[in-house]
Structure 1
Amino acid sequence: MLDHEEESSTESDSDFEPSDLTDKELQEAFAQGKLKPGLNVALEGKKKLANDMTGLRQSLKDLKNELPWVERLDVTTEPVGNSAGQNGGQTSLDTSDINAEDDFQREMCFYRQAQAAVLFALPHFHRLNVSTKRPDDYFAEMAKTDQHMQKIRRKLQFKQAAMEKSEKAKQLRELRKYGKKVQTEVIQRRQKEKSAMMTQIKRYQKGLSDKLDFLEGDQPQKKTDGSAAQVKKGPNAKRRYKNQKFGFGGKKKGLKRNTKESCNDIADFRQSKSHGKGPHRPGKKGGKNANKRPGKRTRQKIKSKAR
């Protein structure tokens, strides 16, 4: 029974795939010598390709014999050289000096070979009366329908409009940020100036300073040199401030009263301008009541008569 169980267990273990086995089971199998180091799967050798040169040449010969050149369009030429030949033809390029590992030389060889194929094929087309240029009225069949192209166009326009809208929104955000920054700087500068002015006012009120230069604002100060003090002309800032607020000083009460000299001076006296008190002249109202307004009842009578 035990031998039968062991055989069944070994058969069941061999039936498991490697992916179904756990690490513990693999370790036990390796300890028992059932696994060996290295690959446990036999690899097939490299497949040998048959180089049937005879069959390939026969197939090429059959193709050349059955189809005309216009249908095949096969051209086998050497790459074109850089200079023209003695008879005006193109010289072939020597490919023995080309390094296949050099990308530039390899791509240049491909370009020269394609150029040689064109120079060989164009005269053949002309001899066979095959046109190599599209006519002016040539219209190719569209691979996509007009409805599909219109849909693509609308999608591209929508995408372009979305990009422009996003760009404008980005510019507006940048402008707002810049404006907010400038506004913050202005507010901070004003607060700083206000704080400095309040400090100077408090110093002046406490008698710690007798200067009122801070009342002049941002006026430029004139200096003779770097070490010289400010050059001031006329009254100081305090006097100018009080002159601006209260006037320019001096006596103002009783300036219009007559004096002995003004009473005796009659050079500027005009009788016709002395408040209508001169003699009555024809065509002009004079006397005490010359400009007196009529009474209320008189005005009402005048209005009733006018109606």
Structure 2
Amino acid sequence: MKVNVLAAIASLSFAPSLFLPGLVAPAFAENVEHVRQLLSTKECSGCDLTNAGLRLANLTRADLRGADLSGVNLDQADLTGADLSGANLTGAVLFRTNLTGVNLTGANLTGANLNGAYLAHANLSGANLSYANLMGAFLGNANIAGALFLETANLQGVQGLPTGVLQPEDYYRIGYENARVGNHAAAMDQYNQALKLNPTFAAAYLGRGVTRLQLGDTNGAIEDWTRAETLFTNQGNENGAQISQQFMTATQERLRASRRRSGGSFVSLMNSLVPLLLQFLVF
């Protein structure tokens, strides 16, 4: 039920992007000769490596400019310093792949799975990251300025994101994704980042209030919802203002009922409250 509540909250500012995980690559490549060429020379510019099985391969400083790597399995491979500029990596599996210093300018990473990938000093300028999974990836000193469709990528748990790249809505979405899987401490950090960049982002206050409730900070939740109601009202969003007020009213009523019973734990209170809040988040 908590997941549904969070999903509904997200719709106040935008519909959360659906995550399309990287496709599991078949074990064999369509072009065996090109695979042999790559492994023996590391020179395979423009090669057809569609669906190639290259798990754990040593491809340091490989030349893969403009290569077709769609559906390739590069799970835990080492591509340190490789040139993949303009390469097609649609649906590629790059789970925990070492991509240190890799040139990915103009590469197509649509739907690629970069879960846990190491992208320190990588150049992603102009790369298409539409629905890419970057969950838990490391991007220290990476260049992602000009990366396309970053707002649709799964950035949950990403480390080392360059400052000034993400917008408040991006931090909000990352916060939502963290809250959705129960990582409320991380969600709090992301909501804080969103509000640091945009102190009048009403939906972020509403989402952070739910996260605070999940963490047991009822007073903090009510404060956030109060702030959300004021902002929504000032911004002419009557629906958002009403929902914020209903959150506060429902929480306060449940608190009073809990005190009268003088025996219920906060966990039981929260569990009984969440289904009640859900009815207020139908749009």
Pick the TM interval, shorter chain: under 0.3
- Structure showing the higher helix proportion among its residues: 1
* Length-normalised TM-score, structure 1: 0.19
Larger Rg: 1
* Length-normalised TM-score, structure 2: 0.20
**Higher relative contact order, chain-length normalized (CA < 8 Å, sep 6+):** 2
